[in-house]
């Protein structure tokens, strides 16, 4: 890359294996402020695993994570949040049986001076944030279980942006959504980008990716096939990277690139 700024996130030579299977093998990716980097690949290519290492859900076997150029110690989700890394998981990871405000503040509840939960303050803040994301949302008193897929999605996204994230990880953020809600998420990503937040976007939808991402990193069998700027490659070329590991001329090949005979 010609970019001389310090990357927001640099994951270098990350490896992790589960019972002898190399889920992620010597993978490196980076992310700059105000940039959207899409991670692409088949199911089981290792994208989600790589990203879960960054969000603290898994512990890497080898490799290094730099945040703003400095080595970061990430052992669990709490550590990741300290570095301003927020994640929206594919499974949404909301507690179904409690209401939206409780989910937004899960693990970081507001408390009154007496140490009790300040539900009213949390609900007030939840109403404010949700009002910005999804003005039609009114069901603050009901457990999240009662909400539609899109509403649950807004809860998960609101939780990520509520705490001034600098790095946002979105694992299939639109998988459960209808077209209108997908468009809303797209708008939101653009807005967050303008605010200087770096976003890792994991998606299967190549159209989404070309709409939103500045760069793509493609993974296959746990290895990085290559990186490319979206303006330098076509959708077919990216598909070629995903399916065959074939790296187009304008992309930078990684360790997983198909060896040219």
Partner 1 sequence: MADTTNTAHFNRARSAAENPVKRFFRATEIDTRLLGMVGAMLIIWIGFNFLSGGLFLTPRNLWNLSVQTASVAVMATGMVLVIVTRNIDLSVGSILGFVGMIMGVLQAELLPQVLGFNHPATWIITLLAGLSLGAAIGALHGMIIAFLNVPSFIVTLGGLLIWRGATWFVTSGRTVAPMDATFRLMGGGTEGSIGATASWIVGLLACLAIVASIINARKQRKRFGFPRRPVWAEYFLSGIGCALVLGAVAIANSYPWPANIARKYAEANGIAWPEGGLFIAHGIAIPVLIAIVIGIVMTFIATRLRFGRYVFAIGGNPEAAELAGIKTRWVTVRIFALMGMLCAVAAAISTARLNAATNAQGELDELYTIAAAVIGGTSLAGGMGTIAGAMLGALVMQSLQSGMVLLGIDSPLQRIVVGVVLVTAVWLDTIYRARAK
Give contact residues for partner 1 (rule: CB under 8 A).
55, 57, 76-78, 81, 87, 89, 91-98, 102, 106-109, 111, 115-117, 120-121, 123-124, 127, 131, 138, 143
CB of 89 to partner 1, least distance (A): 7
Residues 162 and 105: their CA atoms lie apart, in Å, by 9
Residues 79 and 81: their CA atoms lie apart, in Å, by 5
Residue number, 106 or 243, with CB nearest to partner 1: 106
Residue number, 96 or 195, with CB nearest to partner 1: 96
CB of 256 to partner 1, least distance (A): 28
Say which residue the tokens 């009213």 belong to. Answer: 120
- What is the DSSP secondary-structure string of 62-119? EEEEEETTEE----SHHHHHHTTEEEE-TT----TTSBHHHHHTTTS--B-TTSSB-H
Say which residue the tokens 């605010």 belong to. Answer: 195
Residue number, 144 or 192, with CB nearest to partner 1: 144
CB of 41 to partner 1, least distance (A): 22
48-80 in b/e form (b: 16+ CB < 10 A) is bbbbbbbbbbbebeebebbbeeeebebeebeeb
Residue number, 32 or 137, with CB nearest to partner 1: 137
> The tokens of 243 are what?
């399916």
CB of 231 to partner 1, least distance (A): 34
Q: How many CB atoms lie within 10 A of CB 202?
A: 24
Residue number, 98 or 239, with CB nearest to partner 1: 98
CB of 67 to partner 1, least distance (A): 17
């Amino acid at each position: 890359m010609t970019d001389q700024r310090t990357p927001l996130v640099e994951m270098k030579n990350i490896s992790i294996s589960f019972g002898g299977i190399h889920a992620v093998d010597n993978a490196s990716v980076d992310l700059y402020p105000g940039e959207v980097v899409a991670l692409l690949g088949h199911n089981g290519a290792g994208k989600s695993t790589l990203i879960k290492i960054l969000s603290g859900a898994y512990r890497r076997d080898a490799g290094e994570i730099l945040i703003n150029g400095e080595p970061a110690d990430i052992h669990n989700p709490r550590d990741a949040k300290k570095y301003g890394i927020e994640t929206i998981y594919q499974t949404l990871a909301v507690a179904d049986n409690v209401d939206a405000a409780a989910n937004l503040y899960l693990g970081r509840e507001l408390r009154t001076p007496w140490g009790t939960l300040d539900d009213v303050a949390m609900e007030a803040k939840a109403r404010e944030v949700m009002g910005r994301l999804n003005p039609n949302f009114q069901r603050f008193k009901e457990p999240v279980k009662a909400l539609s897929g899109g509403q649950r999605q807004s809860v998960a996204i609101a939780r990520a942006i509520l705490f001034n994230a600098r790095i946002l990880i979105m694992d299939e953020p639109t998988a459960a959504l209808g077209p209108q809600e997908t468009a809303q998420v797209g708008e939101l990503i653009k807005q967050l980008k303008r605010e200087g937040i770096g976003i890792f976007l994991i998606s299967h939808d190549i159209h989404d990716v070309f709409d939103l991402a500045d760069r793509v990193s493609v993974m296959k069998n746990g290895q990085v096939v290559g990186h490319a700027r979206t303006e330098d490659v076509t959708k077919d070329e990216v598909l070629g990277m995903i399916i065959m590991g074939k790296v187009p001329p304008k992309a930078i090949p990684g360790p997983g690139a198909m060896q040219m005979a």
